[in-house]
Amino acid sequence: MDIDILELSDRSARFILSDVDAAFANGLRRAMLADVPTLAIDEVNIYNNTSVLYDEQIALRLALVPLVTIFNEFTPHEECSCEEGCPACTVSLTLSVEAPMDEDKTVYSGDLVSADPKIKAADSNIAVVKLKGGQQLVLEGIAKMGYGHDHAKWQAGVACGYKNVPVIEIEGCDLCEKCVSACPRDILTLGKESAEVVDDRLLNCSLCKQCVAACDIDAISVSENNTSFIFTLESDGSYSAEELIINAVNTIRTKASTLDNILGEL
């Protein structure tokens, strides 16, 4: 297996995963989406809400606020030995906002105050509700560690996908330029003796095969590399993109080790 990092920022990444099959690539994708546990507000105690939104609507909005998560410091609530919640699997976040009598005030995710200073909203500018003059919102949110396969609020990967690395072969080209004009991604250009591929990695090729359809002499063919994949992913901010990838791989490793132990006991 080989990994070639193309882009890496705090919230997103793009890389080429080679020498693996589609099952492994899809397993990595699913792990990033559903099997990396994160913190999310699961219960809300409303003490005062005079805003225009019902308590349930406030709770639903808070549940979808991504929270910065430290992977090794918390245990998923369903795997914790406690029953009611403890510091190992839950975090309390409070919110108390009142709009001045003569003006409106928007409540943001950054107004949440966590009992653990390391746990906070991944983005502080997510609007929760707009309060009119004199309105109040006072509540406590109980964040729990959970998995994306149970609910979308625990899904750290928000846009994880892959495609096969394209393979374009050109032979017997007559320089008619039809394939160059047909390509919607500007992948091809006209060389001295034949049409040529602009980007050797073909990162922008969508495998639409319009170039193949445009060629009257079948000089161009487009196929897929079945053991090489271009991955694109985004994190909701619970983890950095790098942490999300590493935690997904560790999750797969742990599951494989558990399965190996179970089979060894049979």
Is 86 marked within a binding site? no
Is 82 marked within a binding site? no
Q: What would the 3-class secondary structure string for the chain be? A: CEEEEEEECCCEEEEEEECCCHHHHHHHHHHHHHHCCEEEEEEEEEEEECCCCCHHHHHHHHHCCCECCCHHHCCCHHHCCCCCCCCCCEEEEEEEEECCCCCCEEEEHHHCEECCCCCCECCCCCEEEEECCCCEEEEEEEEEEECCCCCHHHCCECCCEEEEEEEEEECCCCCCCHHHHHCCCCCEEECCCCEEECCCCCCCCCCCCHHHHHCCCCCEEEEEEEEEEEEEEEECCCCCHHHHHHHHHHHHHHHHHHHHHHHHHC
Is 183 marked within a binding site? no
Annotated binding site: 205, 208, 211
Annotated binding site for [3Fe-4S] cluster: 205, 208, 211
